[in-house]
């Protein structure tokens, strides 16, 4: 289910298509992606164009805008970081879920509405942190607004040791030393290969929020640059096997050469709960 990404353009897509065409046909237009701190940041910018409270944004419209943006960027061969492509795949999935009527909804995954809510929540949370950062940096700060004794007479020891060293000092000394000793002359040219770690991260990120049987490939590959599809597929497959072994992922294939469906392992929610409890108790 939920694999319907057919290009049957809805009227909405049509509208965007036009804009898209303009973007591509007009050589004067380029896309500046450098100013953004990742896909969520970009989404936040896009959400602001809706000029409404984040809890009331149209997630669907937002997803559309984002996908349009990614498409345009790819058409003019802007190299996009994997993060952006993963988000695109996720949003494409979300979009298809939102557009499909509710009746096919199973019990084993969040509905499109729930996924949309999660996205809105994440945007809201990021925006809140942005605001806090601004408040923080504008406080009266030592060295700018408030000053310490210019001529201190001694440094009283908070700890009882006669020696001063912080954990940071210790760790950076160690890291530097080990790195210095590990220097190798061999320099391997970096080939664009999706490492297992990258693929793992990608799968966990996406499955963490989907949770339903999904033919992830369909969404993912669509947003991979053509030359990276093979490596991305290979790594994702290897990583998925590893995740299955760890119980973090379940896989299903209905027959040879059929799409591979994946979903989050059913053990995961326990771990999440544990994390939360820990968070609460430590935070108090």
**Helix (H, G, I), strand (E, B), or coil: what is residue 65?**
helix
* CB of 262 vs other proteins, minimal distance in Å: 20
* CB of 7 vs other proteins, minimal distance in Å: 16
Q: Does the footprint of other proteins cover residue 99 (CB under 8 A)?
A: yes
**Nearest alpha-carbon partner for 117 in 72, 54, 172, 68:** 54
Q: Residues touching other proteins: how many (CB under 8 A)?
A: 115
* CB of 253 vs other proteins, minimal distance in Å: 28
Q: Nearest 5°: phi and psi at 107?
A: -95, -10
Q: Which is nearer to other proteins, 162 or 226 (CB)?
A: 162
Residues of span 213-252 touching other proteins by CB under 8 A:
none
Spatial separation of the C-alpha atoms in residues 238 and 194, rounded to whole Å: 11
Beta bridge partners of 27: none
Q: Does the footprint of other proteins cover residue 257 (CB under 8 A)?
A: no
Among 10, 195, 253, 258, binds other proteins (CB under 8 A): 10
Q: How far is CA 137 from the centre of its chain?
A: 26
Spatial separation of the C-alpha atoms in residues 34 and 198, rounded to whole Å: 21
* CB of 123 vs other proteins, minimal distance in Å: 9
Residues of span 151-190 touching other proteins by CB under 8 A:
151-175, 177-179, 181-182, 184, 187
Q: Where is 278: in which H helix or E strand?
A: helix 268-283
Residues of span 112-131 touching other proteins by CB under 8 A:
112-114, 116-118, 120-122, 124-126, 128-131
- For residue 215, give both structure tokens: 């033919």
* CB of 104 vs other proteins, minimal distance in Å: 15
265's CB contacts (< 8 A; 6+ apart) are 243, 244, 246, 247, 248, 249, 250
**Nearest alpha-carbon partner for 1 in 89, 100, 91, 117:** 100
* CB of 25 vs other proteins, minimal distance in Å: 12
Residues of span 135-154 touching other proteins by CB under 8 A:
135-137, 139-154
Residues of span 20-79 touching other proteins by CB under 8 A:
22-23, 27-32, 35, 37-41, 43, 45-46, 48-52, 55-61, 65, 69, 72
């Amino acid at each position: 289910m939920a694999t319907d990404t057919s290009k049957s353009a809805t009227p909405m897509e049509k509208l965007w298509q036009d804009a898209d065409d303009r973007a591509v046909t007009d050589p004067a237009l380029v896309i500046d992606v450098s100013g953004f701190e990742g896909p969520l940041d970009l989404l936040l910018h896009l959400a602001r164009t809706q000029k409404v409270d984040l809890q009331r944004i149209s997630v669907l419209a937002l997803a559309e805008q984002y996908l349009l943006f990614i498409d345009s960027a790819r058409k003019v061969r802007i190299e996009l970081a994997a993060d952006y492509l993963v988000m695109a795949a996720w949003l494409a999935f979300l979009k298809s879920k939102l557009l499909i009527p509710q009746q096919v909804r199973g019990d084993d995954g969040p509905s499109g509405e729930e996924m949309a809510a999660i996205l809105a929540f994440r945007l809201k949370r990021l925006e809140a942190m942005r605001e806090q950062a601004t408040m923080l940096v504008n406080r009266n700060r030592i060295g700018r607004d408030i000053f310490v004794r210019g001529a201190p007479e001694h440094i009283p020891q908070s700890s009882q040791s006669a020696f001063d060293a912080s954990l940071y000092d210790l760790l950076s000394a160690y890291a530097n030393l080990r790195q210095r000793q590990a220097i190798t002359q061999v320099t391997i040219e970096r080939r664009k290969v999706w490492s297992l770690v990258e693929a793992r991260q990608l799968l966990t990120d996406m499955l963490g929020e989907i949770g339903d049987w999904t033919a992830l490939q369909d969404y993912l590959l669509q947003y991979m640059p053509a030359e990276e599809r093979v490596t991305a597929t290979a790594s994702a497959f290897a990583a998925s096997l590893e995740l299955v072994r760890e119980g973090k992922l379940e896989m299903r294939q209905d027959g040879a050469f059929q799409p591979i469906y994946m979903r989050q392992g059913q053990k995961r929610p326990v771990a999440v709960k544990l994390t939360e409890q820990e968070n609460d108790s430590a935070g108090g």
